[in-house]
Amino acid sequence: MDYFLVKSEPFKYSWEQFNKDGETFWDGVRNYQARNNLKAMKKGDLVLFYHSNEGKEVVGMAKVVKEFYQDPTTEDERWVVVDLAPVETFKNPVTLETIKADPLLQDIALVRQGRLSVMPLKKEEFDRIVELGNPE
């Protein structure tokens, strides 16, 4: 299993809307590195959902339910989507500030490549963020 983080501006597509929808295709990616990360996603992989710009926090976990296919919002064959479904809402959203302050998360792509909208995570990074979002 692999782990990823996706970003969405809440006014465009929020975690709350995602939960209401129950499943969505992740579209609008127009960066080659982010697209390649979508292509690397496999069914069952886990994905953290990050509210960018407003909030700047990881708010929940989703899973990949369908692997990449042509982005239906464009005829340009270079762009793809994956289907995601929500898994759980975090009890405590994990802020960017908290992530930056955590010694275990210093090398996370969210800190190193802040503009990237879809990024892989190491299992330890994923687990640490989940632990921060759902403390015992």
Q: How does the average pLDDT of the chain come out, rounded?
A: 96
pTM for this structure?
Answer: 0.96
Confidence of residue 114 (pLDDT cuts 50, 70, 90): confident
Between CA 44 and CA 3 the distance in angstroms is 10
Whether 136 shows a pLDDT value over 90: the answer reads: no
- Residues 116, 48: Cα–Cα separation, whole Å: 14
Rounded Cα gap, residues 98 and 100, in angstroms: 6
Residue 99, pLDDT > 90, answer yes
Residue 58 contacts residue 94 (beta carbons within 8 Å)? yes
Per cent of the chain over pLDDT 70 is: 100
| pLDDT at site 9 | 95
Q: Which phi and psi angles does 6 have, rounded to 5°?
A: -120, 150
pLDDT at position 61: 98
